[in-house]
Amino acid sequence: MEDYRWEYHLVQDSQKNAWCMPGGKILFYTGILDVAANADGITTIMGHEVAHALLDHGGQRMTISLAQQGLNIVALKATENQLEKKRKAILTAYGLGSTIGAVLPFSRKHEKEADHIGLELMAIARYNPEEAPKLWERMKATSGGKAPPDFEYPSV
């Protein structure tokens, strides 16, 4: 952890979001404060974001994105002599297949890992991890049901 330069930035913005860059830089939007509702809710969010940094999820996302782009270049080259309609169908199938078959499951795995480790960090810091499911329910309610649908409440 000595390579981390933890920075926390609060941005005046109505977005209900927070995110973390590799190396420990966390951005927290004021719009999420109402959803967080209390210190335990804020800690749930912060623990989740810190976990993303500790698990190097940002770097892994960049790697899979580069791989997807590289394979897209291969597909473009391999189909350059195809009829345009067939080429478009092949490239569309590749785009959908790589996103649905690789990128999205990878992302869901990261979210589950960050939820789990975030709860452990929260408990170590002596905040109440029982607030986490309540926070995710509030997130779901404010986002029209688009909050993490597969949040699992791991034991800590």
Name the residues annotated as catalytic. Answer: 49
CB 41 within 8 A of CB 135: yes
CB 122 within 8 A of CB 129: yes
Strand 25-29 relative to strand 7-11: parallel, antiparallel, unpaired?
parallel
- The single residue listed with the structure tokens 């500790």 is 54
CB 35 within 8 A of CB 41: yes
Q: Whole-angstrom Cα distance, residue 105 to residue 151?
A: 14
Which DSSP symbol is given to 146? Answer: -
Cα angle value 37/42/45 (rounded, 5°): 120
The closest of 29, 1, 36, 20 to 128, measured between CA atoms, is 36
